Amino acid sequence: MTAGIVRPMIGRDSRYFWDGTAAGELRIQRCNACGALRHPPGPACPSCGALDRGHVLAAGTGTVFSYVVHRHPPVPGKELPIVIALIDLDEGVRMVGEVVDVADGDDGPEIEIGMRLRVDFNRVDDELSLPVWRRA
């Protein structure tokens, strides 16, 4: 286990997601009753209230809806600055994610609203792979 990194809470509602990242897949929760997609995952469908949930594989591409650059305070296991974006996935759900490999120049990081991104996976250790986003 890698010391210092903040690890996600993994429970019944999110296990499928983290099993997917370990397999190099981006999974989105889907209601088996009405077909609605949702993220973040939860026990009941917000569209129809059903408790019958499954998942679909996402294409792993999307567009920056909004972003922030985190410069302070320090985050355990991370090098600052950290670019965090709201990403509109092509499947129609929105996800929060870290955007990597965007240079931090004098005018700030090279990221903009509307930029196309693709998912990648950062293998932290044998137990955890985190989704990260890069330019498409």
pLDDT, one tens digit per residue, over 54-88 is 999 999 999 999 999 999 999 988 899 999 999 99
Mean pLDDT across 12-30: 97
Question: What are the pLDDT digits (tens) for 80-128?
Answer: 999 999 999 999 999 999 999 997 777 778 999 999 999 999 999 999 9
Burial class (CB in 10 A: 0-12, 13-18, 19+), 55: middle
Q: How many CA atoms lie within 13 A of 21 on its CB side?
A: 21
Distance from C-alpha of 29 to C-alpha of 35, rounded to nearest angstrom: 10
pLDDT for 1 equals 47
The model carries a pTM of 0.91
